[in-house]
Structure 1
């Protein structure tokens, strides 16, 4: 690693460098809701090219900052949904709860809102999106493998959940479904598919 920049405090390794970049971005997002690569570089005492070496685009910077900050949301998922053991109920409530929380969590909004540097902007099959979706499912007390969802099959289930979330976010409906109406809709149309695949195991 080059021995200048970083305001004289050179990171010990690439992992530390990325952590500093993300922490700086999160501080700015907490203060103003967004951040630029130039601002991160200036704060850290490096060039923009140095930031791009670790996170190659502005979208990657915002996405990494957002994903590093969704722990609070995932903790709320665990509290709100952790006792659910039925896979179909878990999928329905996971979609509904996540959708309802977007308006109340700036980092979750960054991860999921189309038009921003988000998991959904990158695509519902992107590594970022699948990782986020798996994190939600892992908060449930569901034995996903025993329910017929392991490895690629679990990733496909995550993809279906994210595609439904994307659709709800892009067009909430007229009027938008919330609460029991949203859960009833998902139970009617999403739960049967989950149940059918679980029965194939």
Structure 2
């Protein structure tokens, strides 16, 4: 690995080099915006050549994706902490959706996902197998006994897909005029929450 540039402080490893590239990209995006940030900007921020950046990332979109991914890790930790004490599946999912819709646009690194093309996590990438699997893993971290609620591992994949599709729509195409918190919560309570609740004994008996 070449040690030229880097502000006179060459990285000690490839991992450190990649992280410094990611951090430099985040700074450039803060100044120029995601669509105007180029590999040349990142290289200039670090005092290295474009070729040095290319050794670690093939495209600027790959670096931006890593910037967003690192923000996502911290975000999920805070989401799970926010849900502590909510053991009901329907309540946890609705509250989690509310947290995501209101928080993601305000998170500098996470909001990048809303500005990328359709391959991003909140574009067509939201329905890839990897994105759905990640969503299911996130749901497993909720303070919910999914098995006791009658929701198995395969169900979590389906639930994760529906959540990702709904989040994509809510984030990319908000209602006009926008829903306030009470209106959005009422919408989710009416149309999403019932799918996560067991039918009552009375309803089960009536269907026989």
| TM-score normalized by the length of structure 2 | 0.73
Question: Which deviations, in whole Å up to 9, do the C-alpha atoms of 1:94-141 show, x marking residues without a partner?
Answer: 112211123422222212456588422351034774476457535531
User: CA separation in 2, counterparts of 1:6 and 1:143?
Assistant: 52
Cα contact 2:118–2:125 (8 A) shared by 1:
no
Mean CA deviation greater in 15-24 or 107-116: 107-116
Q: Does residue 141 of structure 2 align to residue 158 of structure 1? A: no
> 1:194 matched to which residue of 2?
196
User: CA separation in 1, counterparts of 2:22 and 2:116?
Assistant: 21
Unaligned 5+ runs, structure 2? 199-208
Cα contact 2:26–2:109 (8 A) shared by 1:
no
> 2:59 matched to which residue of 1?
57
Match of 1:106 among 105, 108, 129: 108
Cα contact 1:11–1:17 (8 A) shared by 2:
yes
Cα contact 2:120–2:126 (8 A) shared by 1:
no
Give matches, 1:139-154, under 5 Å.
Answer: 140-144=142-146, 147=149, 148-150=151-153, 153-154=155-156
Give matches, 1:4-83, under 5 Å.
Answer: 4-7=3-6, 9-34=9-34, 35-70=37-72, 73-83=75-85
Number of matched pairs: 194
RMSD of aligned alpha carbons: 3.2
Unaligned 5+ runs, structure 1? 197-201
**TM-aligned CA distance change 1:114 to 1:26, over 3 Å:** closer
Structure 1 residue 75: deviation in Å? Answer: 4.8
Cα contact 2:4–2:10 (8 A) shared by 1:
yes
| TM-score normalized by the length of structure 1 | 0.75
Match of 1:120 among 104, 122, 132: 122
Cα contact 1:85–1:141 (8 A) shared by 2:
yes
**TM-aligned CA distance change 1:166 to 1:29, over 3 Å:** same
Cα contact 1:66–1:107 (8 A) shared by 2:
yes
User: CA separation in 2, counterparts of 1:55 and 1:33?
Assistant: 19
> 2:203 matched to which residue of 1?
none
> 1:174 matched to which residue of 2?
176
User: CA separation in 1, counterparts of 2:50 and 2:29?
Assistant: 18
